Amino acid sequence: MPELPEVQTIADDLNRKVSGRRITGFWTDWPKVVKLPSAKKLADEIKGARIERIERIGKNIIFYLNKNRLLLVHQKMTGHLMVGKWALKSDKMESLLPGPQKERVNQYIHALFYLDDGWMIALSDMRKFARIAFGSKEEILSLPDIKKLGPDALEIAFTEFEERILARRKAIKLTLMDPTVVAGIGNIYADDILWSARVHPLKPANELRPEELKEIFEYTKKILKRAVKLRGTSVGDYRDADGREGRYAKHLLVYRRTGSPCKRCGAAIERVRLGGRSAHFCPECQKI
């Protein structure tokens, strides 16, 4: 579901809301969601853990716990972390609070962390791609998910960006979205970044001209920062930890605008399949 701006928004919200709380229990109806150590062990071992702070690494949300332990959550495509109060009613989740995160979202809650103040952190995930890992700081940070991550899109300097991108021969869009090259850019922002830089998504990364690379770099920073300020993009059912929508959706430049006029030249936006995903671009402004 979320890309860098959405994950940053959720991590910041969680940091504000649950730092200092103790975790009193864990529930899941989908044990596979815990890839390390196991759902049962996590439930046993996390009891009493104090949440120190929450940060984002790539698209992973990291809870720093006491005793040098970390809890990692990757929401993948449709995962949402939320803070609220829910009750188990037979095997169905029932919201105790009114608001936008009730009903439909709740039937997809597959994991709950109970907190010492009566509130809960819930992981809802329609497609069940999300994953949780729990262990020592060393264990979690040495997982391939974290270890293989490239530099963060908001942190990376131009020289390193240039070096890493030019080392790949595949399409620039796939390269931008490859978390081992740069971390944090997903399908929505990759499309908007390339449209802004006037670069065709299928252009091989190593064939980019210096000025094209510079534009891509500049717009990566600009667009991601803007989206963070707007608390992300809500397409479909994305919501922040309070159930609110992200406002970047109103600012989308090409993503999901197939057939609509290009905001620069008026030509009809086209869509192609790339690596099993949709790439949206302007055939006039973005030539190979």
Partner DNA sequence: AAGATTACCTGAAGGC
Partner DNA sequence: TGCCTTCAGGTAATCT
State yes or no: is 210 an active-site residue.
no
**Residues binding DNA: number (CB under 7 A):** 43
In the complex, the smallest distance separating the C-beta of residue 33 from DNA, rounded to whole angstroms, is: 9
From candidates 197, 238, 257, 262, binder to DNA by CB under 7 A? 238
275 counts as binding DNA under rule CB under 7 A: yes
Please say if 59 is a catalytic residue.
yes
User: Which of these segments, 20-28, 40-48, 89-97, 234-242, binds DNA (CB under 7 A)?
Assistant: 234-242
Rounded least distance, CB 167 to DNA, Å: 8
DSSP codes, the chain: ---HHHHHHHHHHHHHHHTT-BEEEEEES-GGGEEES-HHHHHHHSTT-BEEEEEEETTEEEEEETTTEEEEEE-TTTEEEEEE-EEEETTEEEESS-STTSGGGGGGEEEEEEETTS-EEEEEESS---EEEEEEHHHHHTSHHHHT---BTTT--HHHHHHHHHT--SBHHHHHH-TTTSBS--HHHHHHHHHHHT--TTSBGGG--HHHHHHHHHHHHHHHHHHHHTT-B-STT---TTSPPPBGGGG-SSTT-TTSBPTTT-PBPEEEEETTEEEEE-TTT---
Which of 59, 203, 231, 239 is catalytic? The answer is: 59
2 an active-site residue? yes
Instruction: Compose the 120-149 pattern: x for residues touching DNA by CB under 7 A, - for all others.
Output: ------xxxx--------------xx--x-
Any catalytic annotation for residue 3?
yes
Shortest reach from residue 270's CB to DNA, in Å: 12
Residue 152 Cβ, how far from DNA at the closest point, in Å? 12
Residues 158-187 that bind DNA (CB under 7 A): 168-171, 174, 177, 179-180, 186-187
Residues that bind DNA (CB under 7 A): 1-3, 6, 32, 58-59, 74, 76-78, 126-129, 144-145, 148, 168-171, 174, 177, 179-180, 186-188, 232-238, 246, 256, 273, 275-278
- The catalytic site residues sit at 2-3, 59, 277
